[in-house]
A and B are shown apart, each in its own frame.
Chain A
Amino acid sequence: MPLFMGIDIGSRTTKGVVLKDGEIAASHLVDSGSDYARAAGELRERLLALAKARAEDVAYTVATGQRVSLPFVDETVDDIRCCARGMFRWLPSVRTIIDIGSQSSQVIRVSERGSVTNFVVSEKCAGGSGRFLDVIANVLRVSIEEVSRLSLESQHPVVFSTGCAVFGESEAISRVAEGISKEDIAAGVHEAVAAKVAALVSRVGMEPGCAVSGGGGLNAGLVRKIEEKLGVRLLVPPQPQLVNALGAAIMAAEKARAGGPANPARR
């Protein structure tokens, strides 16, 4: 039984999914670190071990995310299409995907068949990405998971006067000095990121159902703030970080069936 592998190289985390007979046989994620190629190589080894398979059992591998030349990859596909394909597999009713990564956010509109009809990407400003949350978590000396949890317990969220992560960092330091609680500062930064994400959504419009993918989907505080801004319930797939990798693996299976150009260097 041939296997199909999808690898999503994110700026912070590299994710992978192995499909066997149309089902997920293995999935895993590793820190991307500073050497993307190395992280992807390690991830592949781990995926093969988890799937109890050898390298030659993998019929086709699709990579997405950061552009890195990898000897074991047959083809690269843009992350927009992979995201749409992965989400269609898990939540086929979704028409608007909000993908929040550690360095960029994107909003993707998909048709009832799961194909991309429109999208918008924000990658020029840390303010609308998970990065702003990282910066403030660092000021508060808590983990990114903790900053999310704290935000849900806030009574009076602070209002950040800025959407800029650098100016926001200074504001957070000032608020800490004034004795404002961590909960209220954490809620404030989630509010600021959610405002940027909502503005991005308004650029391509929204059709229900809406879902969040990427690492942002793991942040319940952020998802709730975006729900408030957009006035809709947001769906979150079981493993939001793996959506693009799943989409890449599905693409790998399709490409192999269509007899796509497998990487000759791999053979």
Chain B
Amino acid sequence: MTKVVITADAAVRASAVRHTGPEHRREAYRVMEDALSQCGLSFSEIAYIVATGYGRMNVPFADRQITELSCHARGVASLFPNVRLAIDIGGQDAKALKIKDGRLVDFAMNDKCAAGTGRFLEVVAATLGLKVEELGPVSLRATKKVSISSTCTVFAQQEIIARLSEGVAVADVVAGLHDAVASRVAKMAGRLRVQPDVVFTGGVAKNVGVVRALEANLGCRVLVPADPLLSGALGAALLARETVLEAIAKGKPVARAERRLEETTFFR
């Protein structure tokens, strides 16, 4: 997903989300247009733009690129000042950020294997014939959880089919799948020595089943922001603001990239 947050001072004025798809640049443009029209601003009124995430180099109209680790830490700490551990599970990776006094001090991540990421849930939802949004509500009907491979998405798919053919209830299978994701991510986060407050962000945080499974695996409460998809973009907006404020404090001009907002594409 590609997300935009526009802040005025430190308050959110507009936000927009779109599927990234193969055309990163075009979607970045479109989602920016969405956010601008939402708050009635023109592109020239935006003082500074920070791009983040794994496609951050494909935002031609950004002034600066900052890693998603820094932006997530900043965004989460602005929403939850006492955060010590942020867990971000996105569509393609999972990260655990150790945060102290609002700053990133350590991290662990998995972007090598689909297990323990949103991709795992997308694949297994398709195997079950469910929409990914349905997984959370369905899992709440579980009476027990079935043990499913947490190490490989492909093998988990096969296990699902085997369990269903044995007559295991779909809800119990889904609960097992959520536990597989949570146990894998909790193991990764364990390397950072987990302390509360724990905050969970990224698209997967919208799944109440994974939130509960994560709480069970970590043994503590897990906080989720109102819009868990936006914390990285929010952090980017706040870092953009700070870049401008720093320049002003030093009496220097703000170094902006000379770029226009226009629809561009990779492909010719």
Contact = CB atoms under 8 A, between A and B. Distances in A.
Given A125-B151, A125-B152, A164-B112, A177 B92 contact: no
Contact of A126 (B22, B92, B155, B165): B155
B22 A124 contact: no
B113 interface: yes
Interface string B151-165: 111110000001001
B112 to A, nearest CB: 6
Contacts of A164: 112-114, 153
B52 interface: no
Given A34-B165, A124-B149, A162 B112 contact: yes
A166 B154 contact: yes
B119 interface: yes
Contacts of A177: 22
Contacts of A103: 155
A157 B149 CA distance: 32
Contacts of B120: 166
Given A34-B165, A174-B22, A163 B112 contact: yes
B125 interface: no
A101 to B, nearest CB: 13
B119 A167 contact: yes
A230 B155 CA distance: 27
Contact of B152 (A34, A124, A162, A174): A124
B123 interface: yes
Interface of B: 22, 92, 112-114, 119-120, 123, 149, 151-155, 162, 165
A164 to B, nearest CB: 5
A163 B151 CA distance: 13
A127 B114 CA distance: 11
Interface string A148-169: 0000000000000011111100
A165 B154 contact: yes
A135 B120 CA distance: 15
Contacts, number: 43
A34 B162 CA distance: 8
Interface of A: 34, 103, 124-127, 131, 135, 162-167, 174, 177
Central interface residue in A124, A135, A177, by most chain B CB within 10 Å: A124
A246 to B, nearest CB: 27
Nearest to A177: B22
A165 B120 CA distance: 12
Nearest to B92: A167
Contacts of B123: 166
A131 B22 CA distance: 26
A206 to B, nearest CB: 25
A182 to B, nearest CB: 20
Contact of B151 (A124, A131, A135, A166): A124
Contact of B114 (A34, A124, A167, A174): A167
A126 B112 contact: no
A204 to B, nearest CB: 20
B94 to A, nearest CB: 13
A162 B165 CA distance: 32
A113 B132 CA distance: 54
A154 to B, nearest CB: 24
Nearest to B123: A166
A103 B155 CA distance: 8
A105 to B, nearest CB: 13
Contacts of B149: 124
Nearest to B110: A164
Nearest to A11: B158
Q: Which 10 A-B pairs have the closest CB atoms?
A: A166-B114, A126-B154, A124-B151, A166-B153, A164-B113, A125-B152, A165-B154, A126-B152, A164-B114, A167-B114
